[in-house]
Structure 1
Amino acid sequence: MTPVSTFKSFDGTLSVHDHDSAVTGTVMRFAVFVPPQAENGPVPVLWYLSGLTCNWSNVMEKGNLQQAVARHGVMVVAPDTSPRGEGVPDDDAYDLGQGAGFYLTATQAPWSQHFAMDRYITGELPDIIAANFPADMSRQGIFGHSMGGHGALTLHLKHPGTYQTCSAFAPIVAPMQVPWGEKAFSAYLGEDRAAWAQYDACELVRQQASSAHILIDQGMADNFLEDQLKPDLFEAACAEAGQKLTLRRQAGYDHSYYFISTFMDDHIAHHAKALG
């Protein structure tokens, strides 16, 4: 790891680091907030996955995060949303390429050489966290926003033994049925919709519900609600599968970090309670 910056906040420490990734073949940047309780021993780990165009800084600077996790004694890791840099494929649009990794392993050129964010987050980065921070890797949760909410739901449902808790803000729950997902999956995975289903929360929960109680907050003034997010589809899939879900529809709230920061304390408490 190469340290980039360090900040003291609420008696904890926020640090930002670069490292060479064997999975993506690029330099990757991530941030970690370590709460003050870590001075006395390892603490639970909560992974936050950001949305389109974002990186580690969005939640750490605008998410109203540090005070709550410092109070509950939980570490938060914020990875980037894609590989980046010279030689990494990109697209002129904001919803494909750098900043839009969709937390999957691409199988199609030119994306397949670098885009494997699910393998990076579930394999390589946890090894780095375990080796360098006071993390109790037996107690992990995952949450995220929008594209990152999609990532949190799908990674939890695929790895329920690793991520024992899960929540999301305005997640893309049915990427196979919305323009964001159809565009990204076509580019990254090709036209085989059976491959797409392995990255769709509605499809995954129907295959195997988890024992966790999933929390979702959705702003009802979100301009992406009807076309891209469609939380009702996941609510129906969870009911069909017997998945425990609380879907809170928040009147007047949009897709921004004003919305996320308002309900961040509730999400941290949701994870902290279950992770002990």
Structure 2
Amino acid sequence: MMNKTVLITGSTSGIGLALAKQFAKEGYQIMFHGLESNGNEIAKAIGEKYEVKVAFSKANLLKSDAVEDLVAETINSFGKLHILVNNAGIQYVSPIEDFPNSKYEDIIAINMNAAFYASKAAWKQMKSQKFGRIINISSVHGLRASEFKSAYVAAKHGVIGMTKVLALEGAPFNITCNAICPGYVKTPLVEGQIKDQAKAHHMTEVEVIEKVMLKKQAVKQFVPVDTIADMALLLAKETSSTITGTSFALDGGWSAQ
């Protein structure tokens, strides 16, 4: 495993940052990516803490050439690219008749198209080194639907379909592709949604968590980010070569119903 390189999109906050910390703890070199103004400092601090090489990019995932450049920069900086985690995502909630076209296009672009462009750009390198692990952070909404999330649900379902195809194409070259499908995770993004939902529904924040967010989960708890990181680390291993084309629901039993 030593000196293996991982590129994690959206890794300066939320789920992506938790993933980056765990990969660094295990000795992986990391290409960080995000839009935070202090992203470079975040990456540097983690690199110093765990004594691993890091780099940082603010690539605009709305643009295919920027995604391609991000992968190329990773390979140029580290010499290799072993694991690609397509994690970056955005959300917008609205009834379909009011859903802005621009929001729909951005959600499809970042949540699904960027995963395609990054995987495509990484493919040649992964084939040449006869090793690749592509991990797509989908969502329980890649398996189930909820009202007012037409763009997000469409994108996350699309990612799961793409995951299956890349698994089939990658099998002869020791390239695996899997999707992780979390339920609600208490990230800064979700904490903001809790406050917004409380205002919209005239509920307390506790009521929003119980009656809105975790209503469909059998286990009434937010999914810990470390659970997602542990699954990603498993999928990244050399010994996980036969785990491919699969979607792992880490959703407190939501999709069991």
So what's the TM-score if we normalise by structure 2? Answer: 0.37
Higher strand share: 1
Higher helix share: 2
So what's the TM-score if we normalise by structure 1? Answer: 0.35
